[in-house]
Structure 1
Amino acid sequence: MNKLNFVVKSELIVGVDEVGCGSLVGNIVSAAVILNYRTPIYGLKDSKKLSIKSRMRLSKEIIAKARYWGIGSVNIEEIEQLNVFRARLLAMYRAVQKLNVFPDFIFFDGKHVPNIHIPSMSIVQGDNMIPEISAASILAKVYRDTEMINLDKIYPEYNFKDNKGYPTQYHLNALLKYGHTIFHRRSFFPVQKLFNNK
């Protein structure tokens, strides 16, 4: 991992990341993690660069070894009301709240920071640089992927277990053939277009 040119001197450093903003289906999910340096976790990196097997293994290890961790979600109705940008920030804020501890500093992945009264900063591609963000990235990804795999059992025709709700060609073809489900985000263009044409 790359090193930042400063050090935050604290044991209560939080990393926060989210997943699901570009999906057409389901919740936006964020995770917040405070690692325990007395029980190091090796192999942390951006969840997208890990195999499914590695993500699952690391997710279990993070839950077992982290000092604190929390998951924050924003549901479909909230996404439609807020828009995806504000929903993303809300998911991150909720994940920090779920820690049940007041941290000293928060690293958020990306360009923006939620309105939160704790010293913090955003870092583009932070999931490649900050171990806490990497851990959060893995937890959020595994949590949301599990939600989509469970949804696939209800709607197998959309292949959510593989596409995780993202607009693959298979998913778009299924939308045209079967229409949208109650879990689709109607304000997102491919779904909105279909809905408006009915």
Structure 2
Amino acid sequence: MARTAGVDEAGRGPLAGPVVAAAVILPDGEFAGLADSKTLSESARRRLAGEIRIRAVAWALAVVSPGDIDRLNILQATMLGMQQAVARLAPQPGLVLVDGNRCPALVLPARAIVGGDASEPAISAASILAKVARDQLMVTLDEVHPGYGFAQHKGYPTAAHRAALERLGPCIAHRQSFAPVRRAMAARTALTGDRTLR
């Protein structure tokens, strides 16, 4: 029987860090606790991510760097990540369900579902894996680039993050094509004449 994969991403809105896509084929039967990752606590997401990795028929992740986001734009970077995650599934699914209103270019049949991360268990599972993986990457980036608070806000444009951007200027983990980062870079260059990223 052809399997169905769910696909979702995490990290479209942040000013820093990668976008992470996940694809998951769930086993037949009930998988309790799955929901849109944004509605779950961090501890619940981490617990469920561990269960998904163990119980899934297949799962895969793809990470698209800030540099590729700047080169492609965030929408195309997200589509690329989804393509890569699906391509890494073994076995390959017969149908791909994608959260949102558009599908990446795939060789497999695919359907976009608005709100699918809340209504389709396989998409919920992908949402959880992508969110947990991205959060872990941002904690690592916090160690590499201290002072920005990446471990706390995960690169999203919080007041604390914006203040750190103004104080420190952007680092190489920031998405230079995003307007707040461009403004911070311009302000730093105007003050110091230095365009080097930390």
TM-score between both structures, scaled by the size of structure 1:
0.92
Q: Which portions of structure 1, spanning 4 or more consecutive aligned residues, are displaced by more than 6 angstroms?
A: none
What's the counterpart of residue 8 of structure 2?
Answer: 17
How many Å apart are 1:11 and its aligned residue? 4.7
Are 1:170 and 2:160 counterparts?
Answer: yes
Distance 1:190 1:69 in 2: 34
What's the counterpart of residue 67 of structure 1?
Answer: 57
Deviations for 1:141-179, whole angstroms, at most 9, x for unmatched residues?
000000001111223311111100000000000000011
What's the counterpart of residue 31 of structure 2?
Answer: 41
Instruction: Give RMSD over aligned pairs.
Output: 1.1
Distance 1:54 1:11, change over 3 A: farther
What's the counterpart of residue 106 of structure 1?
Answer: 96
Q: Report if the CA contact (8 A) 1:18-1:30 is conserved.
A: yes
What's the counterpart of residue 124 of structure 2?
Answer: 134
Q: Report if the CA contact (8 A) 1:41-1:61 is conserved.
A: no
Identity %: 44
What's the counterpart of residue 192 of structure 2?
Answer: none
Distance 2:142 2:63 in 1: 19
Q: Report if the CA contact (8 A) 2:2-2:95 is conserved.
A: no
What's the counterpart of residue 88 of structure 1?
Answer: 78
TM-score between both structures, scaled by the size of structure 2:
0.92
**Uncovered stretches (5+) of structure 1, i.e. residues with no partner:** 1-9
What's the counterpart of residue 29 of structure 1?
Answer: 20
**Uncovered stretches (5+) of structure 2, i.e. residues with no partner:** 190-198
Distance 1:166 1:137 in 2: 17
Structure 2 letter corresponding to 1:36: P
Distance 1:15 1:101 in 2: 14
- More displaced stretch, 97-106 vs 183-192: 97-106
What's the counterpart of residue 134 of structure 2?
Answer: 144
SS of residue in 1 equivalent to 2:6 = strand
Are 1:51 and 2:51 counterparts?
Answer: no
Q: Report if the CA contact (8 A) 1:176-1:194 is conserved.
A: yes
What's the counterpart of residue 193 of structure 1?
Answer: 183
Distance 2:157 2:93 in 1: 37
